[in-house]
Structure 1
């Protein structure tokens, strides 16, 4: 494989600290490299030195002659007055770019919903980011460097980008260097991992799963100083090996070594025990959405949603950008009232919301972190052990010196950690997380997941981070065309549904006018609808009885609790099927 780029003895420092000290590395054709590390350790600075936008104090970066190097930085340099179309295709004639299959694929994958004649300065941050990414990917490059390319992309966009990068070059052609906290994306795309830490860049073979194994081995050697990180990463590895076998089948690392490392590591969480505790804290009534709809003016966002959220459920919510995920969370938390239908909340429900805007920190922005913690409760129980707020903050990656910082001076990642800590300290029994991975590095994500594993309550997560959804939730729902649908197959099933949805012809363009039901068909549909409504009432009563049995059951009888849990899931699945059919019949009768 031909050498593309080399870096020798790079040294970079700022007035307050040394970032890198004598870093030497190289990039060859065929390399697919993911860069990981804590926020602030120098990932973007490393990419800047490799691309030439940052000059090191010493050392040098050399490229093979004629190498075409494309870079997507965190900030774009798009012309604010240009149109979206011109920013992507430049001065190419329409027949030129429209006739190029690769350009069409990129524009369909990233910019199909962006108004092409809109000026760049009129686009949202997410749209502008996708335009910049599309403008980069339509060009020919030998080496591409991407800094957080999945920011502002939804699950479909991330899946498209992963597929594009996997097939963009042949097996031993081209090279990719990418910084991302999206661990699913790292495993899908990368065959090498560089960890940036302690002024150096440490290479690992394989994507994120392989990196976790090798890092656990390294941490075992440094057990005295790395005990806390070791335990967390061993738990992460246990989940990777037990919960997602398909992910660890690709990297070529030693399976026997992985099994030996996790032999004494318990599962990430005990769902039976957590559900029993959740029922005890919440009772059987949590939040019921009953035939709920939300409209803003003439635009209908959500329609006819019926969803009964049970105690201890851990649910991920999927959907494209703008589909109504945050609206759904706002309905559940009471921040928004439905246009139609009603939302019923249990008397014992205490809701906690982690939103994207850091609203929980607005009133304390001028306070110091230690002042904020001093106003909170003195201890918080996790895994049966009491932790002080300061200990929890340390567990979430805060250094002791951060305790003296003002909240408004914290970085985005630090604010997210403090926001999560305050949410947990308020002791809610229902938590809703709206894009919790924004501004958070992979170590912090592992720490967040570790805390959520032992949290006994109902958990609702909206995120485009596929890894997080699969890691902390036990089921997924998707918002499709304003309706809520259970997707037992998780993200893969959702992507299939969205692909089928996109493949259907537009109703406005090609679908025939909806024909009303005939007299006999209408009577049959009304009869089935009435039967379904009676069965739904019986299923709801059965669910309530199972919840009562779980609350009163002997907690030592694990087999009995497991059987009750299986009964509950069977009833929930039946309820979902009945509701889906009820909605279909309702649409036919409208």
Structure 2
């Protein structure tokens, strides 16, 4: 493997901060590298150095002769006066790009087909496009150009779940060759695991290098810390809890984690589950009672468009639900309707008397009023102490858990980065001690370490949680239930999680693309070598398992209700807890079988 870009003892300081301190590394042919690290730690600066756009103070940076490099920054740089076709295809004539399967695949995957239908057609202007649409246009242009080295800064920002899935598949399979390379900054842990063969962590001016994606990085980091007898106990506990999730959660049921299972088992064999579900439900019931928020035969509209049609949804105490869906299906609007911030066009909303609701929006405007305050004062202005994990926790202690060191707590809010403001926004919400928490795209602007800390804090938070996110890892980590909006006005249960959502979307796309009866009877699975009979049997298996999962969910819901009623009867609660564990084990088995059958259909 030859180096395409080599850095030898490079150093760079911006202001008083030493971002790179005699760092040596290389980008080789075939490499797919993910860069992680704290906000403001130098990730984007390192990418700019590799791109040749950021001068270094000392050291040497070399490239192979004739190397082409393509860069995706967080600011797209698109001309608002350009048409979509001009921005994506440049000077390519239609007969040139239309005859290339690779170009058609990119247009289809990112822009809805060769007609660019997802962004309004060839002649649509770039200016009025949404952030997500502009991101897709920039990515499409870069992938069509196909440089030797791709440098991507947060490529999943503004992409929905399907967009992230397509991009990960394309980068790790279709584009991956022995002669090119990829370097990407990302906070999306699922994407990092799906794409990266190496992980670089930028920390304190160093670049620590790890084999594999996120799962391998977590294990290796924990092992290094253990061997070095690190004194950072809190960080060690977070890493081990994260490993427990990786081993026991949905990602462990696929082949994606690349770390050694034996080493992982040894490290986490004494680790409890990240959350004690029974205790959290019991605490949540004490705080909330039996009634939380109900939508009854509810419809939700924006203008003349109806997003939700006559749906009933009853939120339970302690429920942790993730919402996924296609762009424009109304995920954020549904969240606002549940919160009572968007009126229903039909039906009824009921809210329990004890509900204390907090809503993390995608906006940071609520911090405008505290811009002149220090971080710790902006937090204690809300409250100085809260109860978390059954004990009193100070504002300063909670701030440290979410990345604000003692000195950083004395920084003025106006001097914080975007990621730090997002953390502060979340902290101020927690200090109100809500018992219902709604998070709208909480991963925006947050680094992986902060996301892990946020998940850890919420592991001990007793209340009802609703999350809208395109981050598959976060949804599976924080939520034990997922629902989907598919654009048909329904709120659909997803016993198979995000994988089931993607399968439903794939099936819908195939159905729409079918133009003849024979097309419908020859699904993609047949092309992978399955006979028509095997396809039918697999579909029957998937349908049977979905019914079994639905029945398990109903039984689980009944047991939760019985548990609420027996909250003060410890003997009865223990019996119900044992039954719940049996159902969880049964559900895990059903999910594993479902995933295996679904993967065979998809292959």
Unaligned runs of 5+ in 1: 512-537, 571-590
CA distance in 2, matches of 1:544, 1:162: 37
The match for 1:173 is: 179
* Preserved contact between residue 550 and residue 561 of structure 1 (Cα < 8 Å): no
Answering whether residue 290 of structure 2 is matched by residue 274 of structure 1, we say: no
Q: Do residues 446 (structure 1) and 462 (structure 2) align? A: no
Distance change in 2, residues 1:188/1:44 (3 Å): same
C-alpha change, 1:548 and 1:42, in structure 2 (3 Å) is closer
Paired position in structure 2 for 1:460: 466
Counterpart in the other structure of 2:546 = none
1:563 aligns with one of 569, 572, 579: 579
Q: Distance in 2 between matches of 1:4 and 1:545?
A: 60
CA distance in 1, matches of 2:24, 2:571: 57
**Structure 2 residue aligned with 1:188, among 181, 191, 194?**
194
1:259 matched residue in structure 2? 265
Instruction: Return 5+ residue gaps in structure 2 as ranges.
Output: 113-117, 518-553, 587-603
Q: Deviations over 1:560-581 (max 9, x none)?
A: 33436878999xxxxxxxxxxx
Once residues 555 and 438 of structure 1 are traced to their aligned partners in structure 2, the CA distance between those partners, rounded to angstroms, is 44
Change (3 A) 1:283 1:368: same
- Provide the C-alpha distance between the structure 1 equivalents of 2:331 and 2:570, rounded to a whole number of angstroms: 38
Rounded to whole Å, the distance in 2 between the matches of 1:251 and 1:456 is 30
CA contact (8 A) 2:69 2:150 kept: yes
Structure 1 position 373, deviation (Å): 2.8
Match of 2:15 in 1: 15
Q: Which is worse superposed, 166-175 or 20-29?
A: 166-175
Per-residue CA deviation, residues 463-512 of structure 1 (Å, 9 max, x unaligned), is: 011100000100100011221100100000000111122233399x999x
SS of 1:138 mapped into structure 2: helix
Corresponding residue number in structure 1 for 2:135:
129
- The 8 Å contact of residues 8 and 25 in structure 1, kept in 2 or not, is answered as yes
Residue 496 of structure 1 corresponds to: 503
Residues in 2 aligned to 1:216 and 1:266: alpha-carbon distance in whole angstroms = 17
* 2:303 is aligned with 1:287: no
Question: Matched residues in 2 for 1:424 and 1:84: separation?
Answer: 42
3-state secondary structure, aligned to 2:377: helix
CA contact (8 A) 1:553 1:561 kept: no
Deviation at 1:374, TM superposition (A): 3.0
**Shift in Å, 1:539:** 11
SS in 2 for 1:141: coil
Q: 1:566 to 1:214 in 2, by over 3 A?
A: closer
What SS does the aligned partner of 1:310 have?
A: coil
Aligned equivalent of 1:63? 63
| Mapped contact 2:194–2:256 kept (Cα < 8 A) | no
Task: State the Cα distance separating 1:104 from its structure 2 match.
Answer: 1.5
CA 1:539–1:465: 2 relative to 1, 3 Å = closer
Matches within 5 A, 1:398-477: 398-477=404-483
Query: After the TM superposition, which residues 544-583 of structure 1 pair with which residues of structure 2 at under 5 Å, given as runs?
Result: 546=562, 548-554=564-570, 557-563=573-579
Q: Could you tell me whether the CA contact under 8 Å between 1:366 and 1:407 is conserved in 2?
A: yes
Q: Structure 1's 188 and 380: CA in aligned 2 closer, same or farther, altered over 3 A?
A: same
Q: 1:453 to 1:344 in 2, by over 3 A?
A: same
Q: Superposition pairs for residues 46-57 of structure 1, below 5 Å?
A: 46-57=46-57
Q: Does 1:375 align with 2:381?
A: yes
Residue equivalent to 1:34: 34
Q: Does 1:388 align with 2:385?
A: no
Q: CA RMSD in A?
A: 2.6
Q: Secondary structure at the match of 2:210?
A: strand
Q: For the structure 1 residues 248 and 319, does the alpha-carbon distance in structure 2 shift closer, same or farther, using more than 3 Å as the test?
A: closer
Cα 1:476/1:431, change in 2 over 3 Å: same
Task: Give the distance between the partners of 1:168 and 1:244, measured in 2 at CA.
Answer: 25
- CA spacing shift, 1:222–1:248, aligned 2, 3 Å: farther
Q: Secondary structure at the match of 1:504?
A: helix
How far, CA to CA, are the matches of 1:26 and 1:568 in structure 2?
46
Q: Assess, with a 3 A threshold, how the Cα gap between structure 1 residues 548 and 556 changes in structure 2: closer, same or farther.
A: closer
**Cα displacement (A) at 1:376:** 3.3
Change (3 A) 1:9 1:340: same
Q: Classify the secondary structure of the residue corresponding to 2:53.
A: coil
C-alpha distance in 2 between matches for 1:222 and 1:247: 31
CA distance in 1, matches of 2:234, 2:248: 22
| TM-score, normalization by structure 1 | 0.87
Q: Match for residue 111 of structure 2?
A: 111
The TM-score with structure 2 as length reference comes to: 0.85
C-alpha distance in 1 between matches for 2:560 and 2:387: 29
Aligned partner of 2:308 in structure 1 is 302
Alignment match, 2:241: 235
Indicate how the Cα distance of structure 1 residues 18 and 541 shifts in structure 2: closer, same or farther if over 3 A, else same: closer
Contact between 1:219 and 1:227, CA under 8 Å: does it hold in 2? no
**Aligned residue for 1:484?**
491
Tell me, yes or no, if the aligned pair for 1:279 and 1:550 is still in contact at 8 Å: no
Does the 8 Å CA contact 2:284/2:435 hold for their aligned counterparts? yes
* Distance in structure 2 (CA, Å) of the matches to 1:431 and 1:73: 32
| Count of aligned residue pairs for this structure pair | 543
* Mapped pair 1:341 → 2:357: no
Is the CA contact 1:240–1:247 (under 8 Å) kept in the aligned structure 2? Answer: no
Structure 2 match to 1:205: 211
In structure 2, the CA distance between the partners of 1:542 and 1:397, relative to structure 1 (3 Å rule), is closer
Instruction: Sort the Cα spacing of 1:553 and 1:44 in 2 relative to 1 into closer, same or farther, 3 A.
Output: same
Flag the 1:178–1:542 CA change in 2: closer, same or farther, 3 A. Answer: closer
